Amino acid sequence: MVENEEKFVLVCEDRAFLKVMTETFGDDYLVESAEILKEEQTLEKYRRQVKLIVEAVPSSEKDCAFLEQKLRHFQTDEMMAFVLTCRPGQKRLAAKMAELEVADILFLPCEETILRKRIGNIIKLMFLKKQALRDPLTKAYNRRGFEKLVQKLLRERLEKAAFIMIDLDDFKRFNDQYGHHMGDQVLTGVVGTLEQVLDREDVVGRMGGDEFAIFIPHVGSPEAFHQKLSLIFRQLEIQWLEEEDAVQVLSSMGISFFPEHGQNFEELYRRADEAQYRSKADGKHRIRIYGE
């Protein structure tokens, strides 16, 4: 039996399907009802786990539109995949659904051996994708995974988005003084802190070393964004006692905005990085916006 963190989450209401899954995967998955998709708090619990959603293709065009909205809503979750099931006579609707980002479409009834093989392949691919797109230490997106997801979001009709670069101040000196074990704890703690204060739609990536990035696809009002930014900045003031010595790790931040500072990932990344470099040059532990 594997630990819960390594199990995949199955969202499915079909009892026959659940029976096949149990016979195939034993105890290596967790079962949740479809209601989980409406519960942000429960989904947050499974943020880092692979989630397989099994849904029946709706019987009408109207219901297909609702399903399409659901798929688009969850498209930023690289750990989630949808498998659609359909019955004879639904081929036209199934073809329409195939245009969306679904992992597979299964025509029922289906031989159990075929079902096991196809679902097994999907699960393997999802775990491989998870390993390829995530930083092994912090479990945040790595540079490749972060860039891929931000590029996908930028193809949507965003009004205003923010790209934030974060660099930990004097982290090399901290590592030299306290050791890489303590340094790894700080890096992991940074991601844990960001996940607590950010919204589900926001994206966190470790770009390398002690450098992190955040992409906020919906900035909202200037007042709301300022409050969010201040919260992030305060929460990243990491302090604790180490053998009666007060230890503190601070950060410098740089920000660029879509669309005024860039239309693509490279432009936003480069300009946020320039702003972050200026915050370092101005004395560290500061926030700078590109061009200001």
Higher pLDDT, 100 or 139: 139
Gap between the terminal Cα atoms of the chain: 54
The whole-chain average pLDDT of the chain stands at 88
Domain termination site, one of 79, 99, 133 = 133
Domain termination site, one of 98, 133, 168 = 133
Q: In CATH, what number is assigned to the domain containing residue 17?
A: 3.40.50.2300
Residue 33 has pLDDT above 70, yes or no: yes
Q: Which of these, 113, 108, 103, lies nearest to 90 by C-alpha position? A: 108
Q: Are residues 125 and 168 in the same domain?
A: no
State the residue range of the domain holding 277.
143-289
Q: In CATH, what number is assigned to the domain containing residue 235?
A: 3.30.70.270
Q: Are residues 107 and 194 in the same domain?
A: no
Q: Are residues 127 and 148 in the same domain?
A: no
Q: Are residues 109 and 197 in the same domain?
A: no
Question: Does 138 fall in a domain?
Answer: no
Q: What is the pLDDT of residue 242?
A: 66
User: Averaged over 171-192, what is the pLDDT?
Assistant: 91
| Count of structural domains, the chain | 2
Q: What is the pLDDT of residue 160?
A: 96
For the record, the structure tokens of 220 come out as 């909202």
Higher pLDDT, 119 or 273: 273
pTM: 0.74
Q: Are residues 193 and 239 in the same domain?
A: yes
Q: Are residues 106 and 155 in the same domain?
A: no
Q: Are residues 97 and 9 in the same domain?
A: yes
